[in-house]
Amino acid sequence: MPERLRVGLLLAGYMPDEVARDNGTYPELFTAMLEPFGIDLLTYDLQNDGAPTDLDGADRHDGWVISGSANSAYEDAQWIRDLEDLCRRLLDRKVPLVGICFGHQVLAQAAGGQVQRADVGWGIGVHDYHLTGPRPGWVSEPAPDPVRVVASHQDQVVEVPDGAEVFLTSEFCPNAGLVYGTNAFSVQPHPEFTTGVSAGLLALRRDRIGAELTDEAATTLSHELDSPAVAAWIAAFLHGRTGL
């Protein structure tokens, strides 16, 4: 049994109360995903408490995970700028870092990439993703193909930063997974989301998204998710088995 890790969850957003009531908050969802792999999470509420600063003292962790958010990475908000600064510090220090959805986008932006509202509109429901080169060592074999995970986003990484490579892609989201050498990677979809979370968000946002697209996305929720495989990738990466 590997040693338990102390990992910081950089909480960038909040699950709507209507959805969290039956499905869990972001910290609860991430804990359910990673705790079985020997990972203990400590949550940092970025919007209310700010980004951690003492990376050599009380805020020292074995790794970090950035959550999703209803906010956009390109918004002019101080907490987002502070998070970008933290991402660059962690990249420089080669501290293990994982970004999910908004976390995927803000990490790319911090490293010099570009994020914008996607011309293709909302990505919702269960999407099919495909692994491409490079295939990092923490991706267990045989890997599922396609990799089916819940998506929930309007923004996308449209320009990959220098030094990062695409390892996960889809027709809807070409830059769906990025790897930054041996110390960081990120994915656009939500491996912590269940189909119950997705169904709740679809119902809550039906008027905003539109009935036709919402109903189409709802039909995908019967697909079996490959989220456990992606969770295992995250755990293997955080435990240091990068294989690169």
Q: Which residues are catalytic?
A: 101, 190, 192
**Alpha-carbon gap, residue 46 to 206, rounded angstroms:** 28
List phi, psi (to 5°) of 54: -90, 75
Contact 196, 24 (CB under 8 A): no
Whether the ω angle into residue 16 lies within 30 degrees of 0, i.e. cis, is no
**Alpha-carbon gap, residue 109 to 152, rounded angstroms:** 19
CA 86 vs CA 50, 100, 148, 174, 188: distances in Å = 11, 16, 30, 26, 20
